[in-house]
């Protein structure tokens, strides 16, 4: 049995996800866990992601903290499942994204320390998944469509609602796959909750449900050029930040929250209506799957497709991205291409990731 571990630190900066998968036959999740980040580390990651400049020593110290948490997550997963390092073929470590700039002149930068992870777990580590695709003219994102195509049925959509939301379109005819970032997912909603409601996120969307959409503000946001841009495309927190959203202090906090939630729902639904309207099933994963109000809004906005959790296909929505990078680690180890050029815009298929042997 081939076992791999995937590590994922998303743009929400809430914790390190670790997923243990088996790739014997089909991919299956054996176990997973999340190590929540201390509040001080969460704040530091968000600050670094949005800062115009950073202190190098501060950056390296933060990277090492993430590496130690990565090691802790792997060791906890091994102990929990009574496994040793020798049972695991490789770790796929995505790292934490601090900068992402689309093409032209694109780049994507994740802080990570795969050498430290390999040294202190005794397991080979695969990392730096995005830059080879970028070198080939791609966006370096999204990378999960290849994994979605491996796990989900044709004629369906897979929507990951993390800090930024990304959509995979699985076609029916020639197995064509496309995918792109739709815009904000949870990031703006979570940040507003932390600033104004003393909570990490809007649980089930219960707060946003009771506010009113501020339509002039929403229309202003939806006029952002990114939403009209055709795929392949990708984005990040550089474009979607609260301080870029206007004078929000002029409105009731609850109404701003409702409007931010509606922005996520509308930008996702517009992407589907414009670029993926023939698919009849939408499978949702990521933290946003637990925002019931957001899912209700999506179902109303895209009535042609059934909106449901990826659990309907037997895949836990909370661990799908960590599973994807475990699978991409297997692709790298085996010399199999892991990108989909129609999703990233690369000039062709490429083997992704650098391997740090144990």
223 shares a domain with 254 = yes
Gap between the Cα atoms of 89 and 329, Å rounded: 9
324 shares a domain with 269 = no
Q: In this structure, is residue 278 part of a structural domain?
A: yes
Q: How much is the pTM?
A: 0.94
State the burial class of residue 28 (Cβ atoms within 10 Å of its Cβ: 0-12, 13-18, 19+): middle
Q: In this structure, is residue 38 part of a structural domain?
A: yes
Give me the pLDDT at residue 179, please. Answer: 94
Give me the pLDDT at residue 297, please. Answer: 98
304 shares a domain with 157 = yes
Task: Confirm if 94 and 18 have CB atoms less than 8 A apart.
Answer: no
Beta bridge partners of 201: none
Q: In this structure, is residue 251 part of a structural domain?
A: yes
Give me the pLDDT at residue 33, please. Answer: 98
Q: In this structure, is residue 146 part of a structural domain?
A: no
Chain centre distance of CA 174: 26
| SS3 at position 126 | strand
Q: In this structure, is residue 230 part of a structural domain?
A: yes
201 shares a domain with 125 = no
Domain range for residue 198? 153-313
Give me the pLDDT at residue 173, please. Answer: 58
Count of structural domains within the chain: 2
Q: In this structure, is residue 270 part of a structural domain?
A: yes
243 shares a domain with 163 = yes
| CATH classification at residue 226 | 3.30.420.40
163 shares a domain with 208 = yes
336 shares a domain with 282 = no
121 shares a domain with 76 = yes
Ranges under pLDDT 50 in the chain: 174
The sign of the dihedral angle between the CA atoms of 329, 21, 14, 249 is: positive
Q: Which of 239, 218, 304 is nearest to 269 (CA)?
A: 304
Give me the pLDDT at residue 12, please. Answer: 82
343 shares a domain with 203 = no
232 shares a domain with 181 = yes
250 shares a domain with 307 = yes
Give me the pLDDT at residue 286, please. Answer: 95
């Amino acid at each position: 049995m081939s076992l791999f571990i995937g590590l994922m630190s998303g743009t929400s900066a809430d914790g390190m996800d670790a997923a243990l998968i088996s790739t014997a036959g089909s991919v299956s999740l054996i176990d997973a866990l999340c190590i929540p980040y201390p509040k001080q580390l969460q704040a530091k990651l968000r600050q670094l992601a949005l800062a115009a400049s950073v202190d190098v020593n501060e950056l390296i110290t933060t990277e090492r903290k993430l590496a130690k948490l990565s090691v802790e997550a792997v060791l906890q997963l091994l102990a929990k499942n009574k496994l040793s390092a020798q049972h695991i073929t490789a770790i796929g470590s995505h790292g934490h994204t601090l900068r992402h700039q689309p093409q032209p002149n694109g780049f994507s930068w994740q802080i990570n320390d795969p050498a430290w992870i390999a040294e202190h777990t005794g397991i080979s580590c695969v990392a730096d998944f995005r830059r080879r695709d970028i070198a080939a003219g791609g966006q370096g994102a999204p990378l999960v469509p290849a994994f979605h195509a491996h796990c989900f049925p044709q004629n369906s959509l897979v929507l990951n609602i993390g800090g930024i939301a990304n959509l995979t379109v699985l076609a029916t005819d020639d197995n064509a796959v496309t995918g792109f970032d739709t815009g904000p997912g949870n990031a703006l909603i979570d940040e507003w909750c932390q600033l104004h409601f003393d909570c990490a996120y809007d649980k089930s969307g219960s707060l946003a449900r009771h506010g009113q959409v501020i339509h002039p503000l929403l229309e202003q946001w939806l006029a952002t050029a990114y939403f009209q841009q055709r795929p392949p495309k990708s984005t990040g927190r550089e474009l979607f930040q609260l301080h870029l959203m206007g004078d929000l202090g002029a409105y009731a906090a609850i109404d701003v929250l409702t409007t931010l939630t509606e922005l996520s729902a509308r930008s996702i639904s517009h992407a589907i209506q414009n670029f993926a309207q023939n698919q009849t099933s939408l499978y949702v994963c990521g933290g946003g799957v637990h925002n019931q109000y957001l899912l209700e809004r999506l179902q109303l906005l895209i009535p042609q497709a059934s909106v449901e959790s990826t659990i309907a296909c037997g895949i836990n929505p909370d661990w799908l991205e960590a599973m994807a990078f475990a699978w991409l680690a297997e692709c790298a180890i085996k010399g199999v291409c892991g990108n989909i050029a129609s999703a990233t815009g690369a000039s062709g298929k490429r083997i992704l990731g650098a391997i740090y042997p144990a």
